Amino acid sequence: MLKTKISTFDSTWNPVVGCLHGCEYCYARKIAQRFGGVKIGNFNGNIYELDESYRRSLDGKINPYPYEFMPTFHRYRLNDYIEKKGRNIFVCSMADLFGSWVPESWIDEVFDTCEKAPQHNYLFLTKNPKRYEKILDRYMPPNMWFGWSQTGPMGNKCDFTTHHSIKTFISIEPLLEPFKEIHIRGVDWVIIGAETGRRKDKVVPERKWIEDIVNGCRKAEIPIFMKSSLTDIWGEPLIQEFPKELRGEKHGK
Ligand code: SF4
């Protein structure tokens, strides 16, 4: 996660790391490739599981990405937040936990752990929201938030309008195309951000694109959170609103 003056989330928790979507603008892959390394052996298939952290044989230091950006379940991280004070946790900021390649059992183990620590809010984000359909029939506690990434009008869409009890959000980050009309009925929160980094074909959104989203959210009375990557385009102050369920003391609300 990139740092903002007000962080979108209090913490990130990465029991699963790695993703096969292959987005060109992916910062997580760059981090994993930069700080990761190749674990010797056990290269069968394209998903991995680790029951304990992997240490480099040369210096004994922990390598957080031994398989670089290949999907890896770091099962030993499951209990990282069990004992901690309540906070808003972005689950799997370095992965897509709902990617089609992720075994159901990994998701179940993450959900089971969330249930053991109900003091937190858990925010999930995917580029494959179709996979959420399966969970719509299950009871999901109100501290679990299900988000999907949408970079333009033709991107992922998800309709939770008939499942009011499930908390949802859209992450429009990076904003790559203008939305003529934004479908946000039944959504509880919208996050907007611009592409960061120095990619050759980097897209810098126009202010009008952002205004259109803001107007749509205002009409529907949906809170908006602008990432600091919009500062140069939008100016100060950025709109940084949280749904009431996610307002902690740190935000002074
Ligand atoms: S979905 Fe997210 S983690 Fe996966 S490649 Fe795209 S930007 Fe990276």
pLDDT per position as a tens digit, 18-69:
999 999 999 999 999 888 876 655 555 689 999 999 988 778 888 999 999 9
**Alpha carbon nearest to ligand 1 atom 8, residue:** 26
Rounded Cα distance, 102 and 191, in Å: 25
Distance CA 85, CA 121 (A): 11
Is this prediction's pTM over 0.75? yes
Most ligand 1 atoms within 8 A of CB, residue of 23, 92, 124 to mutate: 23
Ligand 1 atom nearest the C-alpha of 126 is 1
Residue nearest to atom 7 of ligand 1 (CA): 26
Q: How far is the CA of 99 from the centre of ligand 1 (A)?
A: 10
Ligand 1 centre to CA of 14 (Å) is: 14
Q: Which atom of ligand 1 is nearest to the CA of 149?
A: 1
Residues 6+ apart with CB under 8 A from 135: 146
User: Is pLDDT at 110 greater than 90 in this prediction?
Assistant: yes
Phi, psi of 9 (to 5 degrees): -125, 155
Reported as a single tens digit per residue, the pLDDT across 137-196 is 778 899 999 999 999 887 666 777 666 678 999 999 999 999 877 778 889 999 999 999
**Residues 147/171, Cβ–Cβ less than 8 Å:** yes
Give the neighbor-by-neighbor strand order of the sheet with 16-17.
16-17, 72-74, 48-50
250: amino acid identity, one letter:
K
Band (250; pLDDT cuts 50, 70, 90): very low
Query: Before 15, cis peptide (omega within 30)?
Result: no
Q: Rounded to the nearest whole angstrom, what is the distance from the C-alpha of residue 96 to the centroid of ligand 1?
A: 7
Are 48 and 70 in contact by the 8 Å Cβ rule? The answer is: yes
Ligand 1 atom 6, closest CA: 23
Q: CB atoms < 10 A from the CB of 120, how many?
A: 21
199-242 residue pLDDT tens: 889 999 999 999 999 999 999 999 999 999 999 999 999 999 99
Question: Best of 30, 68, 92, 96 to mutate for ligand 1, by most ligand atoms within 8 A of CB?
Answer: 96
Q: How many angstroms separate the CA atoms of 13 and 212, rounded?
A: 33
Q: Using one digit for the tens of pLDDT, what is the confidence trace for 88-102?
A: 999 999 999 999 999
8 Cβ neighbours under 8 A, 6+ residues apart: 1, 90, 191, 225, 227
Return the structure tokens found at 223: 């809170």
Ligand 1 centroid distance, CA of 252 (Å): 32
Residue 228 to residues 1, 8, 28, 188, 223: CA-CA distances in angstroms? 12, 10, 18, 21, 16
Q: What radius of gyration, in Å, describes the C-alpha atoms of the chain?
A: 18
- pLDDT of 182 reads 78
Determine the Cα–Cα distance for residues 88 and 142; give it in Å rounded to an integer: 13
